[in-house]
A and B are shown apart, each in its own frame.
Chain A
Amino acid sequence: MHELLQLNLCLLAFNCFALAKFNHYRDVFKTRPSDKLSKQFLIAAWISILLSLALSVVQNNGYGALLFCGYMALSVLILMIFYSFKASWVKIMSALNITVVMLSGLFLTVF
């Protein structure tokens, strides 16, 4: 469950980085993002990626840092596939991603 949360936080972070960019945001929402929105996406991305790194390292020390590098690669690959070939699915993917982050976070908090 820890790994699921770390990976999904990383995926969320890179998704936010992508949506902060004009072209990717336009591909998904068909409109132009405001500067304020781009900035908010960037802040969310940095918080999420740092949280993913912190959780990985706290959980597994040096090994966690290695896992984090792997999570980054996997996240970028997933997003590259979605943004390049199925941009219309990004909304669904994002919703699923946020749900998994919340559920896994809730699970780890409760248990």
Chain B
Amino acid sequence: MKESFFRSMTWMHTWVGLLVCWLLYLIFFAGTVSFFRDEITLWNQPALHNVQAPEQRVAQQRSQIISGINYLQNAGPESTRWGIYLPTERKPQLNYAYEKPRPEGKRFGGWQEHNINPQTGDEIAQTRDTRGGNFFYRLHFDLHYIDVRTARWIVCFASLFMLVALISGVVIHKRIFKDMFSFRANKGSRSWLDGHNVSSVLALPFHIMITYTGLITLIFMLFPYPALTAYEDGIRGLFNDVSPTNVRTKTSPDSAPLIAIDTILDQVYTNWPDADLTQISIRDPNKASATITVRADTGSLVRDQTPTLLFNGVDGSLIAKTAAQLTNTEVFYDSLTALHTGRLANPLLRWLYFLCGVAGCVMIATGCIMWAKRIRERMKKDQPATIGLKLVEGLNLATLMGLPLATCAFFIANRLLPMTTPERADKEILAFFMTWLAVALFALFKRARPQWILLAWINAIACISVPVINALTTNGNLISYLLNGQWALFSFDLMCLVFAALFVVQAKKIPTHTPAKTPQQRTRRSAKTKLQEQS
């Protein structure tokens, strides 16, 4: 234990932050990107670029659902699950989907999707196999390639470390409000500290909220004991109790005709006269155990659980519905989850979430770099770097510069991979990880200032390449998106250019790596300090 509270907190902030900063950067980066996951998915599907949700969107929902049931009855009568996804402002296409036959030993066979332009009623051909923004969303807490449960435990612990680092950071930052607007450029470590402080303080409520609510979303994994004590079947029992609409009925082998969807919709509109429906899911259609789940939009309520009605698919009786009034505990849990996911956000709030997320990435990145720079500054010219310092510098370069480059590779692969490539979506993800691996290997051998500059230029070129390749391989481009008011696509391309510009600034202006001081520099510096002390 250090000799004073302040020094203990400083020590804890440094080490707790440093231990998981690269993982936290990945989590923050992927989380920030996934605030726009629907928009990214739209960008990744050029066939959907000209599709727009109709103006009378809600009024058309009834007929769209009836058409969907008719389509699915013909296309997948034997399927175990059907889905009808209605157009929204962020997902403009009408989507009918049924589950393909499950391979031996698998719990899910994948969706056979049928996309329709809701304005014309025509089928949208040539949609490409891609995970789009959902890849970043899952990467944010499932870390890909790693077993889901293990990954979530890792993310849980990283979040705990982050919360400790945030609180200890507030404690050790003595001039938190005095330095609120101060950024002193070209001052070595001081500038990095200012960057770290400013990016932390400007979005401090967001950082604390997003970390705490992130822990809350995984709380039943981290702290399952109350549920295990109170319910015989543990967490499942708790969820069935809290969300009765999620209860699964046992699949019956007996056939039974699916009830006319009009009967269900009459009940839905009686319960919710002005409902903006988003999704209809049918389990075990044409079987005695059939159930129909209807979900509606939450609007701008700070609530994550969507209003849901669960019907018996054979006799049309209402099995369960989400409670209109939640208990205080449910409101607390649900609103915290809603705050974290940001699904409720309109474009303005979504951009503010994104801005705060970027601030979080900058906070973590400046923290990582600052640690290595300070160690370097304290070293003598001929003193060899320790393995720890080399490791930190290598991981800094690999993570901070590798992740944006890998993201660009993901988008470039989306445009360049042939449409007929088998398992195309997985190949895009492979491009992401292979690029990241390449940068990591590069950083293993070289991680000095020229490598930072080189990778900044490569990142800038990659960021510019994304909208350029998009313009060359599709019918749209930045200008046409602007003229046609396709704001999601325009913002995507514009952001690529903005980040390209930031990488150019980094390559030209920002010294992310400090060479060890020469003896003359050290002498000059210590003389200057002495003079300052005397004066």
Contacts and interface: CB of A to CB of B under 8 A. Distances in A.
Given A63-B344, A70-B355, A77 B202 contact: yes
Interface stretch (B61-69, B99-107, B177-185, B240-248): B177-185
A66 B181 contact: no
Contacts of B182: 23, 80, 83-84
B352 A70 contact: yes
B209 A69 contact: yes
Given A73-B202, A73-B203, A63 B300 contact: yes
Contact of A66 (B184, B349, B355): B349
Contacts of B353: 70
A76 B344 contact: no
Interface residues of B, number: 29
Interface string B102-136: 00000000000000000000000000000000000
A67 B348 contact: yes
A62 B335 contact: yes
A100 to B, nearest CB: 16
Given A62-B302, A74-B352, A74-B355, A69 B205 contact: yes
Contacts of A21: 178
Interface in A30-47: none
A49 interface: no
B198 A80 contact: yes
Most buried by A among B178, B302, B355: B302
B349 A73 contact: no
Interface in B167-218: 177-178, 180-185, 198, 201-203, 205-206, 209
Contacts of B344: 63
Nearest to B198: A80
A72 B352 CA distance: 10
A46 B370 CA distance: 34
B359 interface: yes
B181 A83 contact: yes
Interface residues of A, number: 26
B206 A85 contact: no
Interface in A84-104: 84-85
Nearest to B184: A84
Contacts of A63: 300-302, 344, 349
B180 A76 contact: yes
B365 interface: no
B352 A67 contact: yes
A35 B174 CA distance: 23
B302 A66 contact: yes
Contacts of A70: 206, 348-349, 352-353, 355-356
Most buried by B among A67, A69, A74, A83: A69
Interface in B321-365: 335, 339, 344-345, 348-349, 352-353, 355-356, 359
A60 to B, nearest CB: 7
A71 B198 contact: no
B181 A76 contact: yes
Contacts of B355: 70, 73-74, 77
Interface string B78-91: 00000000000000
Contacts of A23: 182
Nearest to B185: A84
Interface in B410-433: none
B181 A73 contact: no
Contacts of A72: 202, 205
Contacts of B359: 73, 77
B349 A79 contact: no
A23 B177 CA distance: 13
Interface in A1-40: 3, 14, 17-18, 21, 23-24
A60 B345 CA distance: 12
A8 B339 CA distance: 24
Contact of B183 (A62, A69, A80): A80
A24 B353 CA distance: 28
Contacts of B300: 60, 63
A85 B185 contact: yes
Contacts of A74: 352, 355
Contacts of B335: 62
A17 B184 CA distance: 19
A21 B182 CA distance: 11
A70 B184 CA distance: 24
Contacts of B201: 76
Contacts of A80: 180-183, 198, 202
Given A62-B302, A63-B302, A79 B181 contact: yes
Contacts of B183: 80, 84-85
Interface of B: 177-178, 180-185, 198, 201-203, 205-206, 209, 300-302, 335, 339, 344-345, 348-349, 352-353, 355-356, 359
Q: Which 8 A-B pairs have the closest CB atoms?
A: A70-B352, A76-B202, A84-B183, A62-B302, A73-B203, A83-B181, A69-B205, A63-B300
Given A18-B181, A70-B206, A70-B356, 8 more contacts: A62-B302, A70-B355, A74-B355, A76-B180, A76-B201, A84-B183, A84-B185, A85-B185
17 contacts: A17-B180, A21-B178, A62-B335, A63-B349, A66-B349, A67-B349, A70-B348, A71-B352, A73-B202, A73-B355, A74-B352, A76-B201, A77-B202, A80-B180, A80-B182, A80-B198, A84-B183
